[in-house]
Amino acid sequence: MITEQPTWEIKDSSKLDTWLDCPRQYFYSHMLGWRVNMPAHDPYFGESWHKAREYQLLNGYDDVQGAYDAFINHYRKEFQPESDSMYTPKDPTAILHALVKFATERQR
C-alpha cells in the first residue's frame, strides 16, 4: 500500500505537463517520488559543448583536438561511449564535426 502524501494535492504546470506527456512518468516521479540518478542528456551535452567552445575562444580555433578533449573530458564524466548511439545526433561525433567546421570557417 502506498501512503498518501500531501504533495499529491498540489497541482502545478510542471506536474500537468508531465501528466499530458506521459501518465506513467507522472506516476513514477510525482506519486512515487522516483528520480533518474543521472543528469538529463541535453543540458549536460550543452554544458560540455560550452567547454569545447570556451577552449577554442581561449586557445584558438586551430586546436580542434584540444577543444574536443575539453568536450569529451566533461561529457564522459556522465555519459559513456556505449550510450552515444542513443543520443544521435547529439553525440561526440557531431561535436567533432562542428569543431572542425568552426576551425575551417575561421581560416577563410
Q: Provide the domain count of the chain.
A: 2
Same-domain status, 78 and 25: no
Q: In the 3-class helix/strand/coil scheme, how is the chain assigned residue by residue?
A: CCCCCHHHHCCCHHHHHHHHHCHHHHHHHHHCCCCCCCCCHHHHHHHHHHHHHHHHHHHCCCCHHHHHHHHHHHHCCCCCHHHHHHHCCCCHHHHHHHHHHHHHHHHC
**Would residue 5 count as lying in a domain?**
no
- 75 and 31 assigned to the same domain: no
Q: Is the residue at 3 inside a domain?
A: no
pLDDT of residue 26: 87
pLDDT for the residue 89: 95
Per run of 10 residues, the mean pLDDT along the chain (length 108 residues) is: 78 87 88 81 96 96 97 97 95 98 87
Q: Residue 90: its pLDDT value, please?
A: 96
